[in-house]
Amino acid sequence: MNYSKLYNFCLESYAKLPYLLGGGKAFRPMTLFVELTYRCNFRCNMCQFLSLLDDPRLDEKKGQELTTEEINGVVDEVSRFGLISFTGGEPLLRKDIVELAQHASKRHKAYLVTNGVLLKKDIADEFVRLGCRNVLASGMASVGISLEAIGKRHDDIVKAPGSFEKILSNVRYMVEQKKKSGKKFPLVWLKCVITNHNVGMLDDMYRLAEEIGVDMFNPITYYNIPSTNRLEMDETVKSGTAVNPIENFDTAELRNQLAKLRQRAKNSAVQLRITPPGLPTDDILAVYENRLDLSNKVCYTPWSSVAISAYGDLFPCSNYTVGNIRQEPFLKLWNNEKMQDFRNRLKKERIFKSCAACCSMVFEGAPSAYPPKG
């Protein structure tokens, strides 16, 4: 079964009724992205948070990250059997990560994305123990591990010598424990962001995913967002701002690799999920050629999902905050005036220029015809 397709279908259906009839309001969120921290032990060259990770102002915010109780409180407000997605920075740097996963797993499906280097045996054991009993049950649904390339190339991208071997051994351990437990969940995904540094080895990485025996291989289209700054939340809906151009990308190699991936997926036990899901190959290439056609793209995400920063800001979309949970209750923020205004503007425009390649973008309608580059 293709679980991510099923999940996207449910999410979109949940969002569409209030999208069409809600006048800016929405049902309780079904997905909550929790950015647990902006501390990280890596410095990946493509990371959307790269400038933030080294911002000296982060020191001033020390001690201001949401507490375990604050996070659990917000998690409790999400629709029953919703998805709680723990991310960061590096979520495994939080000492309470197991406690947070345990709490989220009681009423919801939990997902965690990590660079994997701190995925020690005791944590992996607990994640497997928390695994959902079936597709409908609450529990740990997935663990995504970012592996950006193979061998030294990976270590160079993330700026952490020796990390590839450590991550590989951590992933192998988790896959083995899951097999022993006889459980289907949590699904273990290998993820990577497609850049010039790994585009030539995507198919080799898929083969590695097959050899390890993970559930999913997930290459992600690079999102060259203008700024991802969680320190100064601005309130500009970024409809006028386009994403930063991508320079000198080998699109011919990307076309070749995407064809190989799609071919391999036909007979593979490892599911292929390319992010944004459902985007045709020509559109993915167009992102890297800085000419994505947005006329057949739409976003329903703020009607079903929301993210919370490590300091409690609630944002339906990068850099657009509607308030802070330390000042106003979570569910009030979710349907406050700013949020409704944001949804109404998005509905009117369908999609913003700044959305090109965002993982929430949905492709709808006839495929775009891109004239040959020349």
Ligand X SMILES: C[S@@+](CC[C@H](N)C(=O)[O-])C[C@H]1O[C@@H](n2cnc3c(N)ncnc32)[C@H](O)[C@@H]1O
> What is the binding site for ligand X (CB under 6 A)?
40, 46-49, 87-88, 90, 113-115, 146, 191, 193, 220, 222-223
Which one of ligand SF4, ligand X, none interacts with residue 191, CB within 5 to 8 A by kind? Answer: ligand X
Binding region for ligand SF4 (CB under 6 A) out of 15-23, 166-174, 247-255, 347-355: 347-355
Cα dihedral value 257, 188, 279, 15, nearest 10: 180
Binding region for ligand SF4 (CB under 6 A) out of 10-18, 125-133, 288-296, 349-357: 349-357
Residue 302 amino acid letter: P
Residues 28-57 that bind ligand SF4 (CB under 6 A): 40, 42-44, 47, 49
- Nearest residue (CB) to ligand SF4, 74 versus 355: 355
**Nearest distance in Å: CB 291, ligand X:** 18
Q: Is 268 exposed, middle or buried (0-12, 13-18, 19+ CB in 10 A)?
A: middle
- Across 311-340, b (16+ Cβ under 10 Å) vs e yields bbbbbbbbbbbbbebeeeebeebbbbebbb
- Nearest residue (CB) to ligand SF4, 40 versus 84: 40
**Nearest distance in Å: CB 129, ligand SF4:** 25
- Nearest residue (CB) to ligand X, 8 versus 335: 8
Report the residue from 75, 138, 346, 347 that binds ligand SF4 according to the rule CB under 6 A.
346
Task: Give the helix/strand (H/E) hosting 166.
Answer: helix 163-181
Tokens of 51: 């400038």
Which one of ligand X, ligand SF4, none interacts with residue 361, CB within 5 to 8 A by kind? Answer: ligand SF4
According to the binding rule CB under 6 A, does residue 340 interact with ligand SF4?
no
What does each C-alpha distance from 26 to 7, 31, 94, 336 come to in angstroms? 18, 13, 31, 10
**Nearest distance in Å: CB 28, ligand SF4:** 18
**Nearest distance in Å: CB 71, ligand SF4:** 18
- Nearest residue (CB) to ligand SF4, 31 versus 105: 31
- Nearest residue (CB) to ligand X, 68 versus 227: 227
Distance CA 273, CA 278 (A): 9
- Nearest residue (CB) to ligand SF4, 90 versus 215: 90
Number of Cβ atoms within 10 Å of the Cβ of 210: 14
According to the binding rule CB under 6 A, does residue 301 interact with ligand SF4?
yes
Cα dihedral value 304, 227, 104, 75, nearest 10: -60
What does each C-alpha distance from 209 to 34, 69, 222, 273, 361 come to in angstroms? 27, 36, 20, 13, 26
**Nearest distance in Å: CB 50, ligand SF4:** 6
- Nearest residue (CB) to ligand X, 160 versus 193: 193
According to the binding rule CB under 6 A, does residue 22 interact with ligand SF4?
no
For the window 97-116, what string marks contact with ligand SF4 as x by the rule CB under 6 A?
A: ------------------x-
- Nearest residue (CB) to ligand X, 47 versus 362: 47
Contacts of 182 (CB under 8 A, 6+ apart): none
Residue 32 amino acid letter: L
Q: What is the largest CA-CA distance in the chain?
A: 56
Tokens of 205: 């990485």
Distance CA 23, CA 188 (A): 39
Residue 194 amino acid letter: I
- Give contact residues for ligand SF4 (rule: CB under 6 A): 40, 42-44, 47, 49, 88-90, 115, 158, 299, 301, 317-318, 346, 352, 354-355, 358, 360-361
